[in-house]
Amino acid sequence: MAQLNTQLAGRHYISPLMNASGIHCGLDYMLDELTHSKAATYITKSATLQKRLGNPEPRYYNYKQNSLNSMGLPNEGIDYYLKYVNQDPQTAQRILSITPLTIEDIPLLSKKIDASGYDGLIEINLSCPNILGKPQIGYDFDQMAHYMKVIDQSFYPGSYGVKLPPYFDLVHFDMVAQILNQYPLAFVNSINSVGNALMIHEQQTVIFPKNGHGGLGGATIKPIALANVHAFYQRLNKNIDIIGTGGITNGRDVFEFILCGASMVQLGTVLAQKNLDIFEQIENELHAEMDKYDYKTISEFKGKLQYIQENDAISGASH
Ligand code: DHB
């Protein structure tokens, strides 16, 4: 039987599967449930310095295999999640997600984390599309460079990663990689939801905030997510691992993310739409996919995407 174990930032995991931040991770009991599921680990709901109630409802909508959300960062505040992860016997394997709402929040968040003695990984969210009146830092490269400088001054090398929005231009991948490669990141998580999409039911928007605009997740965004993981795997320093997120619904999808270079993957919409049994189901499907190609370990095919050649295209055109 194939082995699903993998590594992120030198830490060992029994499989590449975990939740995406925001899904089933906002309260203690949800994190307890993730701990007892087949997920290899969990990431917490992205925390701000203070507790937030988030945007007015309706703020989340499922449609087929997709979702639209404008949650607005409802969370219990950093102290709550720090208390939870620090009592966890497996702290070092956990990922704490944080969102600085301003650049001044970065050292304040890091002080709290440091003072608590937390020694797990930290995901710094540079891509929330849902805070009214705030830009996505990941789309403003000058601001992003500035944020990274302060992040570098505030966090220990190799302790943190950043969650990025999707990019759609090859030059943007170059520009983002150029900024990130200057710093000792443990990982990059690509992608956050596709920001400010719109869904309509009958004649009405399906969520309330921002005239219905919200982050799109689910199967539809998988090709975008794969492209982002692939592009960053090609451009980032090899010691920066990649977490692949976006539209995963089955084991074949996970296989494709790993081919593109992901060391781990996160489940968002599919986990919101199904229950925690999805981890075991996707694990089984990943086993089957690896068996199909006779891979015994993740490292045998991680980043080994094969490129179609001109002559292949002629014979294989009608797949
Ligand atoms: C929220 C959404 C995001 O995509 C994100 O990265 C952080 C927070 C939210 O609306 O709560």
Rg (CA), the chain: 19
At residue 148, the 3 state secondary structure works out as helix
Q: Whose CA is nearest to atom 4 of ligand 1?
A: 128
The CA distance from 77 to 24, in Å, is: 16
Q: Report yes or no: 41 and 13 within 8 Å, Cβ to Cβ.
A: yes
Q: Whose CA is nearest to atom 6 of ligand 1?
A: 128
Six-digit token pair at 166?
Answer: 């999707």
Phi/psi for 170 (5° steps) reads: -60, -35
pLDDT for 81 equals: 99
Q: Whose CA is nearest to atom 3 of ligand 1?
A: 128
Percentage of the residues of the chain whose pLDDT score is greater than 90: 95
Q: Which atom of ligand 1 is least distant from the CA of 193?
A: 4
pLDDT for 316 equals: 57
Q: Which domains does the chain have, with CATH numbers?
A: 6-300 (3.20.20.70)
Phi/psi for 164 (5° steps) reads: -105, 155
The catalytically annotated residue of 37, 67, 70, 128 is 128
Is 127 labeled as catalytic in the residue annotation? yes
pLDDT for 297 equals: 98
Residues of the chain with pLDDT under 50: none
Q: What is the pLDDT of residues 22-51, one digit of tens each?
A: 999 999 999 999 999 999 999 999 999 999
The CA distance from 19 to 271, in Å, is: 7
β 60-63/66-69 pair status: antiparallel
Q: Which atom of ligand 1 is least distant from the CA of 72?
A: 10
The CA distance from 49 to 30, in Å, is: 21
The CA distance from 69 to 206, in Å, is: 9
The pTM for the full model equals 0.97
Is 128 labeled as catalytic in the residue annotation? yes
pLDDT for 167 equals: 98
pLDDT for 249 equals: 98
pLDDT for 310 equals: 86
At 194, the amino acid letter reads V
Phi/psi for 108 (5° steps) reads: -70, -40
**C-beta of 75 in contact with ligand 1 (< 6 A):** no
**Ligand 1: which of 73, 101, 193, 213 to mutate, most ligand atoms within 8 Å of CB?**
73
User: For the CA atoms of 281, 282, 286, 288, what is the dihedral angle to 10 degrees?
Assistant: 30
The CA distance from 5 to 129, in Å, is: 33
Six-digit token pair at 228?
Answer: 């982002």
Q: What is the pLDDT of residues 135-169, one digit of tens each?
A: 899 999 999 999 999 999 999 999 999 999 999 99
Q: Whose CA is nearest to atom 7 of ligand 1?
A: 128
At residue 267, the 3 state secondary structure works out as strand
The catalytically annotated residue of 15, 70, 127, 159 is 127
